[in-house]
Structure 1
Amino acid sequence: MSQTETLIETPEGRGPQRVDRRAFFATTIGAATIGAGALALTAAPAAAQAVVSEVDVLNLILNVEYLQANLFAVATGGTVLAAADISGSGTAGAASGARAVSFSDPILAAVAREMAADALAHVRFLRSSLTSNLVVAQPAIDLGASPTGAFSTLARAAGLVGNGQAFDPYANDDNFLLAAFMVKDVAVTAYTGIMDSLTTASFVEAVGGMMSVEAHHAAALRAMLARKGIATLALVDASEAISNARDALDGATDLDQGVRPGTSASGAAIANIAPLNANGLGISRSRQQVLNFFYLNSGTVTTGGFFTAGVNGTIKSTATS
């Protein structure tokens, strides 16, 4: 198996504490690129456009769901989303570079198929929740395995592959599991982060329901990584390295966690399936932090990474002002 198809174990995952590893990634990356019924939402009045509306945050989440839906659809079925599911305003683009995975683990394959179906349902629900003139089109999405692609760029930042090398998410079960982990944890925090922007009761309920599904998905992936990591420690190390690479993109606060278990006071192992803060609450990212990750850039940008021409909609920039 070639180096681009095999997980390359990184000793950094067994090294210093997370705060030290995170500082390393921040120094290395710096500010440069690392590569159910319609709610009939309407646009806010022109005078209120300076304030982010529910339509705006809904469209931001739709961009993320376009990415996920295509990733899992192609990996499990070989085809991208249909034209009827991706039209809308803004600059339309293709989801390119993904291919079907020859899964050897039937459980992982079944879970990936469920995630494909759920992500498509989210896309269709979000689109139906907006009037036709407000829904954004799918932007250009990079899901490829080339050395210059988004997955490879993130994998290099995490030390999974070397300089100039490619990370192929579709080569085998382990690589796909890591690729899904790269994006799914961030999707959960994106939903959590937009909840305070919602005021319509029916919308809060609907987005809360989608957030719950995303959390179940992420937990399933984290559980599989932890279980497979018992025999293949490199997977646990890789999750920690990916976590630190993600953390280096979204600001000074250490938000992210891999799946390395901890220990109780008695010395028993404690799994880390649910990444929580000290109060036992789920991790949240702001809209800008979500875009910093998907653009693979810790600076102020409007394009890059997985969204090569940027996302569609009002919320495009990683700037916080």
Structure 2
Amino acid sequence: MDMEDIGIETTEAALNEMRERKRSRRAAIGAGVAAIAGFAFGAGRPAEAQTAVSDFDILNFALNLEYLEAQYYTLAYQGVTIDKVGIGITGPGGAPGGAIIVRSNPIVPFTTPLLKQFASEVAAEEAIHVTFLRTALGSAAVAQPEIDLMNSFSALASAAGLGSGFDPFASELNFLLGAFVFEDVGVSAYLGAVGLITAPPYLDAAVGLLGTEGYHSATIRSRVFALGAAAQQAATAISATRAKLDGTGNDDVGLGVTSSGASTIACADANGLAFARSTAQVLGIVYGGGTGKGAFFPGGLNGNIR
């Protein structure tokens, strides 16, 4: 998909209305820190309660997401999976890591030196995140689940109205839009998790990871914004689709310019706060609306939160 193929119409008025209707969900998140909140996907579907979880459960949930991000960036920059560059993906007892579904030769044809350097940096940092979490978890670290980096993107692009056959490795723009899918979700996932973690060392680690994901997200959103209206409209369509998949419909902000002339680079609510998502809401996105599995994780996540 090239920029010319993007047919989503997003007006300044629509962007302004979208931003104005954002409301802080901090109170709701704070009220549910003792347990992971359920969520309603689609009208009329009852919330699905989840049992209380341990710090290790939360860290393993994060590890699953870091596997996804590390594989994406490493394949985009180096063309190989993270286990080929010395990053562990096995689970307890040596359980093997899942396969990666990706096209042949996924190296992105970078032409912008700054963007290539950024891809190199993020690939290294996401790989380090995997190692960091695996070290913290020790023998409790789950294996990498099966990850789909082909059909998942195509389905998401179709759901967003961007056409079928989207390939995130085909161009710099596509790479940025693929990264746009992940990074905002990572920020909201870590922010939602910090209230569930009880041990101070693990809480410190989660906050540190949140900060780095925030840097990644801001850089990606800035680069997409700088590419102009068509790229901004594609990102806004992806943003709206994420909000629909997590069951809220309104906890995400696309890219554009409001009627007051302000950009919407920061994915923040009406109070200027980053959005937080429960694990169930994150799963709604990475599973593409499926239950227990789907989209980026065809067989589901590994661990107790799935």
Contact 1:189-1:283 at 8 Å conserved across structures: yes
Alignment partner, residue 116 of structure 2:
109
SS at match of 1:118: helix
C-alpha separation in 2, matches of 1:150 and 1:13: 24
Alignment partner, residue 243 of structure 1:
239
1:272 Cα offset (Å): 1.7
Q: Is the alpha carbon distance of 1:102 and 1:193 closer, same or farther for their aligned partners in structure 2, counting shifts above 3 Å? A: same
Q: Name which of 7, 11, 19 aligns with 1:10.
A: 7
Counterparts of 1:179-198 in structure 2 under 5 Å?
A: 179-198=178-197
Alignment partner, residue 143 of structure 1:
149
Contact 2:160-2:237 at 8 Å conserved across structures: yes
SS at match of 1:59: helix
Amino acid corresponding to residue 157 of structure 2 in structure 1: A
1:55 Cα offset (Å): 0.4
SS at match of 1:17: helix
Alignment partner, residue 57 of structure 1:
58
* Cα displacement string for residues 145-183 of structure 1 (whole angstroms, at most 9, x for unaligned residues): xxxx0001011111111xxx3001111111111111011
Per mean C-alpha deviation after superposition, the further-off stretch among 218-227 and 272-281 is: 272-281
Alignment partner, residue 67 of structure 1:
68
Q: Name which of 270, 290, 296 aligns with 2:282.
A: 290
C-alpha separation in 2, matches of 1:157 and 1:291: 16
Q: Is the alpha carbon distance of 1:117 and 1:7 closer, same or farther for their aligned partners in structure 2, counting shifts above 3 Å? A: farther
Q: Name which of 272, 275, 289 aligns with 1:280.
A: 272
Alignment partner, residue 119 of structure 1:
126
Amino acid corresponding to residue 211 of structure 1 in structure 2: L
Q: Is the alpha carbon distance of 1:253 and 1:156 closer, same or farther for their aligned partners in structure 2, counting shifts above 3 Å? A: closer
Aligned pair 1:94/2:99, yes or no? yes
Contact 1:76-1:116 at 8 Å conserved across structures: yes
Contact 1:54-1:197 at 8 Å conserved across structures: yes
Alignment partner, residue 82 of structure 1:
83
* Cα displacement string for residues 183-231 of structure 1 (whole angstroms, at most 9, x for unaligned residues): 11111111111011111111111110110000000000000011111xx
C-alpha separation in 1, matches of 2:168 and 2:249: 28
1:105 Cα offset (Å): 1.2
Q: Is the alpha carbon distance of 1:15 and 1:212 closer, same or farther for their aligned partners in structure 2, counting shifts above 3 Å? A: closer
Amino acid corresponding to residue 184 of structure 1 in structure 2: E
Structure-1-length-normalised TM-score: 0.79
Q: Which runs of 5+ in 1 are unaligned?
A: 21-28, 32-48, 317-321
Alignment partner, residue 159 of structure 2:
157
Q: Which runs of 5+ in 2 are unaligned?
A: 19-40, 44-49
1:261 Cα offset (Å): 2.1
Contact 1:14-1:237 at 8 Å conserved across structures: no
C-alpha separation in 1, matches of 2:126 and 2:183: 11
Alignment partner, residue 130 of structure 1:
137
Q: Is the alpha carbon distance of 1:125 and 1:95 closer, same or farther for their aligned partners in structure 2, counting shifts above 3 Å? A: same
Alignment partner, residue 304 of structure 2:
314
Contact 2:246-2:281 at 8 Å conserved across structures: yes
The structure richer in helix per residue is 2
Q: Is the alpha carbon distance of 1:255 and 1:82 closer, same or farther for their aligned partners in structure 2, counting shifts above 3 Å? A: same
Contact 1:12-1:241 at 8 Å conserved across structures: no
Structure-2-length-normalised TM-score: 0.83
Q: Is the alpha carbon distance of 1:250 and 1:50 closer, same or farther for their aligned partners in structure 2, counting shifts above 3 Å? A: closer
The runs of at least 4 consecutive aligned structure 1 residues that moved more than 4 Å come to 4-7
Per mean C-alpha deviation after superposition, the further-off stretch among 5-14 and 305-314 is: 5-14
Residue identity (%): 39
C-alpha separation in 1, matches of 2:196 and 2:272: 22
Contact 1:91-1:139 at 8 Å conserved across structures: no
1:92 Cα offset (Å): 3.3
RMSD (Å) for aligned C-alpha atoms: 2.2
Q: Is the alpha carbon distance of 1:211 and 1:82 closer, same or farther for their aligned partners in structure 2, counting shifts above 3 Å? A: same
SS at match of 1:102: coil
